[in-house]
Amino acid sequence: MDWGKSLGLGLLTSAFAPKGVMERDSVFGWVPETKAGDAGEAWELMSNTLLDGIEKSLQQANVDYIVDNRNLHQDLPLVSEYIFSSVRIVAPEHGCPDWETANRDYDQSCYVATTVYAPTEEPRKVPDFLTAEPNGYGFYANDEADYSRIKVNIPKGSNMDKNQLLAGISRELPAWAFIFVASQKLDTGGYTAPVILTAGKAELFIQL
């Protein structure tokens, strides 16, 4: 199924390659201050919420999976600390092999992984379209390196659809968590329009 049609959004295209933040899938949002006592709690909550959304979406689709990394804190030299989770999809009927068949190689496996960097130290005013909570800990995606992200790997030969997977995950997320889907190159040479997924629905992203 076509990306735009599958999400109820007319497929818009551009002749120009995306740049900067437009080139990468990411996650962003504002954890309400009523749900977290401090930035550390908000950080854990965002990571756990994304992982929970991945698991629930795969359960809804009756797809088997294995959680290889669950909210794993990574504090490595020369990079900022982040929380990492990864879920490997095991569905041979969809071209997603088990670990042995994939030669113990993640590149040959179907998986979804999240990397969540720390939010703002203090709650900030949330955008006007989030009216339920006036303030929240912000997770932004505009940093060159330290941006929270979601990665979907689909090897050649699989009939899994990345965009439908992301839409399914988005449907399981609360109103304060969003997925940005970057422009994707088309066989015709153009690019799809970038979109923001909220509750499984695609909203056209326009860079001003």
Confidence bin at 11 (pLDDT 50/70/90): very low
CA 208 to CA 205: how far, in whole Å? 10
Residues of the chain with pLDDT > 90: what percent?
69
Q: Out of 47-51, 52-56, 154-158, which region has the weakest mean confidence (pLDDT)?
A: 154-158
Which residue type occupies 181? V
At 200, list the tokens. Answer: 């499984």
Q: What is the mean pLDDT of residues 41-52?
A: 98
Tell me the CA distances in angstroms from 46 to 24, 106, 123, one per residue in order. Answer: 19, 24, 14
135-194 pLDDT, tens digit per residue, is: 999 999 887 788 999 999 999 999 999 999 999 999 999 999 999 999 888 778 777 888
Return the axis-axis angle of helices 162-171 and 39-60, rounded to nearest 10°: 120
Predicted confidence (pLDDT) at residue 42 exceeds the cutoff of 60: yes
Predicted confidence (pLDDT) at residue 206 exceeds the cutoff of 60: no
> What pLDDT does 89 receive?
98
Tell me the CA distances in angstroms from 65 to 45, 55, 73, one per residue in order. Answer: 22, 8, 22
> What pLDDT does 130 receive?
72
Q: What is this structure's pTM? A: 0.87
